[in-house]
Structure 1
Amino acid sequence: MTGCHTTDFTVFGMYVDRKRILLGWSEADVARTCDIMVDDVRMAIAGRRVGPDAVDALCEWLGRDASFFDLPSNRDRMEAAR
């Protein structure tokens, strides 16, 4: 897993909420399936920072590697601005 400081929690939360809605699941259903606390699911959906264990569990549920949600580096931003 990548460090939590590099995770774009806004995008991460949108992916978690989208899959939850498409499945018709509650936040508790997601938490139960991922074996994490409901508060972690709610915080993730709100775009707030959650711990690395919750990120790993939710990424596994999403079928995505945690690096998919990394913030672009400063170098990437500078190259994109060119």
Structure 2
Amino acid sequence: MSRTYLITGAASGIGKVTATSLKEQGHTVIGADLKDADIVADLTTPDGRVHPVQQANETRKRRWPPPRQRSTGERAIALTT
């Protein structure tokens, strides 16, 4: 089952490796980082931590089909650091 992941630090290091691995497994990946990512954000600030999730939801709605909902009606986005 394919999932959508929001990966922080996706432009380099372990975040980039994780994003690449998930893409190779057929998952959809939205990358967030200070630069060179789908979502450019500074996670050291309060706004920088809220904005990426909001932007990921908007990006996902524009680029991919709606996610399947769980029985509770919640949508899941996995966050990694």
Looking at both structures, which has the greater relative contact order when contacts are Cα pairs under 8 Å and sequence separation is at least 6?
1
Question: Does the pair score TM above 0.5?
Answer: no
Greater strand percent: which structure?
A: 2
Pick the TM interval, shorter chain: under 0.3
Question: Per residue, is there more helix in 1 or in 2?
Answer: 1
Question: Which has the greater radius of gyration?
Answer: 1
Please, what TM-score do these two structures have when normalized by structure 1? 0.27
